[in-house]
Structure 1
C-alpha cells in the first residue's frame, strides 16, 4: 500500500527527469497524466486532486524549459492533465463508495456466520474438543464452512460441513443445515435418519445442483459411528501410534443431491479408544497451495497433532498450514479435533 501511495510522485518525477535528459527535441510532458491516474487507485478524492495539482506544477516550468509555454501543444497537455485529474477524482470517489459497501456486506456476513457458528464446548462427555477456524482472504469473501457439537440422550454428536459457494447465500444455506441438525440430533436415534432430515430440509431450500458436503458422527464408549456425505474423510490419530484415514465403506452423495441417488448414505464405525484423536476438517485445509502450487500435506504433518494439549496441537497445525501457503488462504479452513483421554 505504501508503494502505491508514492507511485504517482515517482512516476511524475521520472517523467520530468526523462524529459530533461531527452532535451528539447522530444517532449514527455503528456505522460504527467499518469500521476493522477495512479493516485486514484489507492488515494482519496483530495489526494488525487493534490497529485493533479503537482502534475500541473511540474508541467509549467518544464514547458518553459522546452520553450512550449502558451503553445497549443502545451495547452493540450494542461487540459489533458486537468481532464484526467477530474476523471480520476470521480473514479476514486466511486472506488471508495464501493469499498465501503463491500466492507459493510462482509461485516454483515461475518456477524451472521459468528451467530451461526456458536462456540463449541471444550469438553463434551469424556472428550476434549479443540477447534480452529481460519477465514479466507478478503477476495474469497465469506465461506460456508460449518460445525456443531451437541450432547444428546443418544451420546455426543457432531456435524462438520462445507457449503458449495461463497457469500451470504452460503451462510444462509449453512443456517438451514445447522438448524436442521440441532433439532434432528436430539430427535433421531439413528445417524442415517439425521442425514435424511438434513436432506429433506435442503431439498426445500436449495435450487439447481447446489450441495453441502458433510460428516455426521456419534461417539460411543470405544468407537465412533460416522455418515459421510461426500466430505473429506477425517484422520484418526491412534494413541498407540499410527494414522488411519477414515474412509466410508460406501461413499455417499453430498447433501442436496439425494435426488440423483435415492440410496441413503450408510453409517460405518471405527475404533475410538483412550488416547486416540480424530481430526475433522474441510477441503480448505487439504486444498491450500503454496507458491509452487503444491497442496498442503496434511497426512505428513499429522504428527503435529500429538502434542499433549489438543488445542495447542491444533493451533500448531494451523500455523503450519498458514506458513505453507505463505499468505492468506483462498478458502475457509475449519478443523475440529476430538481427543479421548486415557482413563
Structure 2
C-alpha cells in the first residue's frame, strides 16, 4: 500500500478542498488555475506511485530470474588446469541472460572437457533442454573414461527430457504430433589432454576455430572438416562413435567454440556475419602475442551487434580457451609478477 499512500492522500485532500473550500463555480482565472493544478498533481502522483511500485516488483523478479539463470549457466573460471578461459552469451530474448545455447568446462583426470550446444529454438522456452544437457555433462565428464561414454549419457538425458515433455501433452495426440517431437540439440564435446591432444565428438554443431600466433599473419581456421553426427534427439546414436583427432593445442594457441547464431546472423541487407574475419581482427589487434580470450569475445560481440544493428534473431554463445601451460609473452597491462603467476603449473582440480 505504500506506493499509493501519497496519491491517495493527495486525492483525499483535493476532494475535501473541492467540497468544502472551493466555490461551485470558480470566480476568477486564479481559482481555475489552482483547481486544475490540484487535480493534475493528484493524477500525476497516482501514476507515479503505481509506476514506482511496479518497477520495484519487476526489479525483484529480475534479480531472482538472473540468480537462477546464473546457477544454470554458471560463469567459467578464468583459468582451468593451465588453460585460460572466457565465455559470453547474447540472448535473442530481451531480458533473458540464458537462452537456447549452453556451454561448460571442467577439469577431470582425463583432461579438460568442454561442451557447447544449441537447443532448437531460443529464449526461455529452451531452458529445460539446456538444464538436462548441462546437468548430465557435469556428472558424466568426471565419471566416463571415454568421450563416447559422455556423449551417450547426454543423449539419454535429452531423450528423457523430450519424453517428459511429450508426456505433458494431450494424451489423445500421437507422440509425433507433440512439439517436443521436433526438438533436437546440437552438441560438440571437446577434450584437451594433458599434452594438448585434442579429441572431439560433434553432433550437428559448427566446428571451432583455431587462432595461432606466430611469424605468419594470424588467421582463423576451422579445427576440423569432418562430417558431424546428427543432432541429439533426432536419431539414435550409432553403435560406434567416431572420435575426431584434431591435433594438438600448442602453447599460446587459442580455440574459439561458438554456436551457429554467430555465423547465421545477418544485417539489414541479408549479408551473413563474417565470424572468421572478426576472429582474425581480434588476433591482429594483439600484434603477434597470444590472444586474450576475453578480448576475443569482446571483439566478436561488438562486431556482431554492429553488423545486425543490435537485432539478433538467434542466441549466440562463445567459449574461448588458450593454452597457457608453458611460458607465454606478457599480455598488455600485465606485470612480470602476473605473468609468472599465470604460467605456473596449477592443480588439475581447478
TM-score scaled by length of structure 1: 0.64
- Mark the CA change 1:181 to 1:171 in structure 2 (over 3 Å): closer, same or farther: same
1:212 matched residue in structure 2: 185
1:70 matched residue in structure 2: none
Larger Rg: 1
1:235 matched residue in structure 2: 209
1:330 matched residue in structure 2: 313
Deviations 1:168-192 (A, max 9, x none): 4410111010010000000001111
After TM superposition, the structure 1 stretch with the greater mean CA deviation from structure 2, 124-133 or 175-184, is 124-133
Structure with the largest fraction of helix: 1
Query: CA offset at residue 326 of structure 1?
Result: 1.3
Matched positions, count = 244
Is structure 2 residue 262 aligned with structure 1 residue 285?
yes
Query: CA offset at residue 266 of structure 1?
Result: 2.0
Query: CA offset at residue 136 of structure 1?
Result: 1.7
What secondary structure is seen at the aligned counterpart in 2 of 1:275?
Answer: coil
Q: Which runs of structure 1 show a deviation greater than 4 angstroms over 4 or more consecutive aligned residues?
A: 100-111, 139-142
Deviations 1:35-63 (A, max 9, x none): xxxxxxxxxxxxxxxxxxxxxxxxxxxxx
Is structure 2 residue 129 aligned with structure 1 residue 173?
yes
1:154 matched residue in structure 2: 110
Higher relative contact order (CA closer than 8 Å, sequence separation 6+): 2
Deviations 1:116-158 (A, max 9, x none): 0011011011110121212224399962111111111111111
Query: CA offset at residue 106 of structure 1?
Result: 8.0
User: Structure 2: 5+ residue runs without aligned partners?
Assistant: 1-55, 163-179, 328-350
2:89 matched residue in structure 1: 133
Matches within 5 A, 1:232-311: 232-240=206-214, 241-259=218-236, 262-270=238-246, 271-306=248-283, 307=286, 308-311=291-294
Query: CA offset at residue 199 of structure 1?
Result: 0.5
Deviations 1:52-107 (A, max 9, x none): xxxxxxxxxxxxxxxxxxxxxxxxxxxxxxxxxxxxxxxxxxxxxxxx99999987
CA contact (8 A) 1:304 1:317 kept: no
What secondary structure is seen at the aligned counterpart in 2 of 1:338?
Answer: strand
CA contact (8 A) 1:237 1:243 kept: yes
TM-score scaled by length of structure 2: 0.63
2 CA distance for matches of 1:154 and 1:255? 24
- Mark the CA change 1:331 to 1:107 in structure 2 (over 3 Å): closer, same or farther: farther
